[in-house]
Amino acid sequence: MSKVVLTVDDSRTMRDMLKLALGDAAFQVLQAVDGVHGLEVLETSAPDVIITDINMPNLDGFGFIEGVRRSDRHRTTPILVLTTESDQDKKQRARDAGATGWIVKPFDPVKLVDAVRRVAA
């Protein structure tokens, strides 16, 4: 059975790029358009890994990560942050919220898949 990855990003282009990269690596991909939608998707699914952007409308990545970590069901699900941000304070804030790792956009599809495989194991 293939591993399931939830991608949370308000950019359709980024969601498409993630779906292509992960799909080519035999992952099943679920998608959400922002943090609120991501939490809704998690009510009916149990992904092996979550990839989230930080800067999104409605609920940003920090709030989304905190929401995921409040859920007993998803408390230990690995969360990778995929963002254009490289600020150390934001990285620390994401770690404090419960993020597992950090990948800067634009991403290398091979490195992204390797990172997902590492945390999904």
CA angle 93, 15, 22 (to 5 degrees): 95
- Phi, psi at residue 37, to the nearest 5°? -65, -40
Whole-number Å distance between alpha carbons of 11 and 23: 18
Beta-sheet strand order (sheet of 4-8): 28-32, 4-8, 49-52, 79-83, 101-104
User: pLDDT tier at 85 (50, 70, 90 boundaries)?
Assistant: confident
Q: What's residue 121's pLDDT?
A: 75
Q: What is the CATH number of the domain that holds 113?
A: 3.40.50.2300
Write out the residue range of the structural domain in which residue 39 sits: 4-120
1 pLDDT above the threshold of 80 = no
Question: Rounded to two decimals, what is the model's pTM?
Answer: 0.96
Q: Domain count for the chain, please give it.
A: 1
pLDDT 10s digits, 3-30? 999 999 999 999 999 999 999 999 999 9
pLDDT 10s digits, 22-51? 999 999 999 999 999 999 999 999 999 999
- What stretches of the chain show up as alpha helix (H) in DSSP? 12-24, 35-43, 61-70, 88-97, 109-120
C-beta separation of 77 from 38 below 8 A: no
